Chain A
Amino acid sequence: MARSALTGTRVRERRQRIGLKQADLARAVGVSPAYLNLIEHNRRRVGADLLASLAEALGVGEAALAEGADSALFEGLREAAAGAAGAEAGAAESAPETDRIEEFVGRFPGWAALLAERQARIGALERAVAALSERMAHDPHLSAALHEVVSAVTSIRSTAAILAESEDVDPEWRARFHRNVYEDSIRLSDAADALTAYLDASPGNETGLSSPQEEVETWLARSGYHIAGLERPHPTPPAALVAGVPELASDAARKLALAHLARYRADAEALPLHGFLRALGETGPDPAALAERFGAGLAPVFRRLATLPEGAGPPVGLVVCDASGTLTFRRPAPGFAPPRHGAACPLWPLYAALARPMVPIRTAVEMAGRVPVRFLTYAYAETRFPGGFDGPQVTEALMLVLPAQGPRSGAERVVGAACRICPRAGCVARREPSIVGAGD
């Protein structure tokens, strides 16, 4: 495989993006930190074996380090090959010749580009179908909207039949029934508008049926999850931060947003940003070390890691659930997409933590999919007693999701996003059949 003169630059960029120290990467691939530093500054060429080791340790394909702009093409072709191999298990003689990808690209660049583009399109369509199916099956707001439509139609049909089929309806009753039909027709019209907006699949359309939690998460995603106005000694009033925000269309969403901002400010006061970033540079994204450094709990540290300014730390995902297992907060990460509706994968360490409050759990996981992605997760649950000794205990579990570090060990726990859209076959924890792949 041809290796670009900028391979070292790409190694450094990838290492920094996933928060891996140079010394740790050097140890993982069996070279000295000084030699790795020369490589990263493109002052030493990278042999084939070392390139493979670096790619494995950084969790990327070799092409991503060696090929630069062409890496997306090679990754797309490998994904297409992986999908074909899965769909035709057993037909070894017709499996794609993945060891001849470079030859294929070199001899037929047009066909290679077309195949990679088609694969990307298939992946996008599969994700859209999975998301829509999940929503149709589990969206309580869609169910409520459909019930609203049926109720309005039932009333209109029954009342209109009385008016149409009976000539002797008392004038007072006739007036009452006319009013009922009028009111239910407006109700039906409103419900139909909401359903139409829901079924509108245009990109970027966030209107229509959304739960308050979804409204808040959409707003936070647009904001990058970092609220600069709350990092100052004299913070911006939370009410000013939510006023006029288009994503927060409902009163319930604004209330949830204010509660989120109150907790955000408390975390910012306990873990000031400047000091937290300095500590992060020294310890790396180790929640336990950071909690120890600041004398804080793990939950605030998890939340701070998930709300840093863009580029200040590794890309992280964060999910939070209450004692019922319901996800109350979702921040996705590259390769990690929490389900929008319904329950998540029961094998998530999040739920193991929920069953064992106050016990931190660190687990390497592999997210099932056409191209599995590895992560390092930290999970922790804490219990509060807001009502005192006589009140109920409130338990909340959090799971921080970080890019995997180091090579694949084989001991990773294989998990999915949710049973309905998980392709993993033979999973003992499966709750329902999957609509994708051969998951059953």
Chain B
Amino acid sequence: MSGRVLLIEDEPHIAEAIRYILARDGWAVASHAEGQGALEAIRREAPDVLVLDMMLPGRSGLDILEDLRADPALAGIPVLVLSANGQGEARMAAEGAGAARFIAKPFANSDILTAVRQMAGA
């Protein structure tokens, strides 16, 4: 597989592990570590898949997702949401805001790879 992934995740070690496994799988990975400036990063990187954490400093992932869906130029980017809150309400909120997939933390690396591959191929 190949393509471009933008990872928005503020936990540096989590971001490092995700970048590693995606890069090893052939993906070009860019990352951004906070909610502020996330939309600008998305416009700049123009990813094939966005991996978005929900709990971010500055702006929540949910707010970013809603703004993404409101922008016609960005609305088509498939989004994989990661969240430490795996409860039903959080999942429903993310999917209601337009997330294509939702994975609760902690996750299996294979789940991340499978989701990104499927979303890029969709």
> Could you tell me which A residues sit within 8 Å of B by CB distance?
146-147, 150-151, 153-155, 157-159, 161-162, 165-166, 173, 176-177, 180, 183-184
Q: Are A147 and B84 in contact (CB under 8 A)?
A: yes
B16 touches which of A146, A153, A157, A176 (Cβ 8 Å): A176
Kindly state the separation between the CA atoms of A228 and B40 in the bound complex, as whole angstroms. Answer: 57
Q: Could you tell me the dominant secondary structure of chain B's interface residues?
A: helix
Complex interface: chain B residues within 8 A of A180 (CB): 13, 16-17
Residue of A nearest to B17 (CB): A158
- Does chain A have a CB within 8 A of B11? yes
Interchain CA distance A157-B14 in the complex, whole Å:
9
- Interface residues in B21-58 (C-beta closer than 8 Å to A): 21, 24, 55
Contact assessment for B13 and A183 in the assembled complex, using a CB-CB cutoff below 8 Å: yes
Among A146, A150, A159, A173, the residue within 8 A (CB) of B13 is A159
Asked if A158 and B14 sit within 8 Å, CB to CB, the answer is yes
Q: Is the CB of A162 within 8 A of B11?
A: no
* Cα A48 to Cα B65 with chains together (Å): 72
| CB-based contact B20/A162 at 8 Å | yes
Q: Which residue of B lies closest to A187 (CB)?
A: B13
Q: A154 contacts which of B20, B21, B106 (Cβ < 8 Å)?
A: B106
A333 to B34, CA, bound (A): 44
Q: How far is the CA of A153 from the CA of B107 in the complex (A)?
A: 10
Q: How far is the CB of A165 from chain B (nearest CB, A)?
A: 8
Docked-complex contact A155 and B14, CB < 8 angstroms: yes
**A12 vs chain B, min Cβ distance (A):** 57
Closest partner residue, chain B, to A155 (CB atom): B13
20 CB < 8 A contacts A-B: A147-B84, A150-B84, A150-B105, A153-B106, A154-B105, A154-B106, A154-B107, A155-B13, A155-B14, A157-B107, A157-B108, A158-B17, A158-B18, A158-B106, A158-B107, A162-B21, A166-B24, A177-B16, A177-B17, A180-B17
A150 and B17 within 8 A (CB): no
Say whether B105 contacts A151, CB under 8 Å: yes
Check if B14 sits within 8 Å of A151, measured CB to CB: yes
Q: Which residues of B contact A158 (CB under 8 A)?
A: 14, 17-18, 21, 106-107, 109
Minimum CB–CB distance for A188 against chain B, Å: 11
A157: chain B residues within 8 A (beta carbon): 106-108
> Which residues from B are CB-within-8-Å of A151?
11, 14, 84, 105
Which of B11, B17, B20, B109 neighbours the largest number of chain A CB atoms within 10 Å of its CB? Answer: B17
- Please name all residues of chain B whose beta carbon is closer than 8 Å to the beta carbon of A173 when the two chains form the complex: 20
Given known A150-B106, A161-B108, A162-B109, contact A155–B17 (CB-CB < 8 A): yes
Q: What's the nearest-Cβ distance from chain B to residue A144, in Å? A: 10
Q: How far is the CB of A170 from chain B (nearest CB, A)?
A: 10
Q: A147-B55, A162-B20 are in contact. Are A154 and B109 (CB under 8 A)?
A: no
